[in-house]
Amino acid sequence: MKNKILPRKFYQRDTVTVAKDLIGKILVRNISGKILSGVIVETEAYSGLEDPASHAYIGETKRNMALFGPVGHAYIYFTYGNHFCLNVVAKKNVKAGGVLIRAIFPLQEIEEMQKNRYIKNLKTLTNGPGKITQALKIDKELYGTDLTKKGPLYICDTKKIKESEIHATPRIGIKKAKDNPWRFVVKKLK
DNA sequence: CTCTCGATGCACT
DNA sequence: GTGCATCGAGAGA
C-alpha cells in the first residue's frame, strides 16, 4: 500500500474546505480482501445546523446522529426508496457537518463494480451518489464506519489537485439553499 | 445530448 | 400521510 490513509485531522476542518480537499482522494472498499477503489471526483458540503439543506438542520435524530459524532466517520442514509448515499463527517467549531461523496472514477476491480450494478456502461458506473454505494456494496451495515482506519471502508491520500482543476457549483437535487456553491467537481479526468 | 416522470421504502410529523 | 442530498427508461432534438 503506497497511499496513506487520511488522518482524523484532515476532517477536523471547515466542512466546505474538507469537501474541496476530498476531490482527487481515493475511496477504498475492502470486501473480504477484495479491494474496490476509485478517485473521488465530485463532493458536496452540508454544513450542519446553519445549512437548511443539511439533514442536521432539523436537529439530532436517530437517522442523522452520525453527523453529530466524531469526524472521519461514515454517515450513510437511505433515500428515495432505492438508494443509499455516503457521507464523511467533517466539521470544526460546529456541532454537525458532513461531506457527501457524489461521484468517483473507478480504479480497481472495475469488473466487480459492474457486476454489483448489473451494467457495463463505464460512463454511468459510479457517477452518482446512489451508484457509488451500489457499485461498492455500501449500505447501512457501514453506518458509522471509521474511515481513518484500515477497515471495510476508508479514504487514502494522493497528490494534491490544483485549485484551478476544481470547479465549484450549486448543489444538486435539493430544495433549500440551492444557491450555495458547495458542490465541487474535477473539471475533467480522463 | 436534453428533459420528464414513475418507482420505491424509510424517517419524520 | 408526506417528502425525499436518486436512478433509469423513454421521448424528443
Q: How far is the CA of A55 from the C1' of B5 (A)?
A: 26
Protein CA at A79 to nucleotide C1' at C6, angstroms: 7
How confident is the model at residue A1, as a pLDDT?
55
C-alpha cell at A45: 458540503
| 8-state DSSP, A169 | E
Greatest Cα pair distance, chain A, in angstroms, is 44
**Which nucleotide's C1' sits nearest to the alpha carbon of A100?**
C5
Spacing of A130 CA from C10 C1' in Å: 21
Specify the nucleotide whose C1' lies closest to residue A63 (CA): B11
Q: What are the 10-residue block averages of pLDDT along chain A, 190 residues in total? A: 86 97 96 96 93 94 95 96 96 96 96 94 94 96 96 93 92 92 82
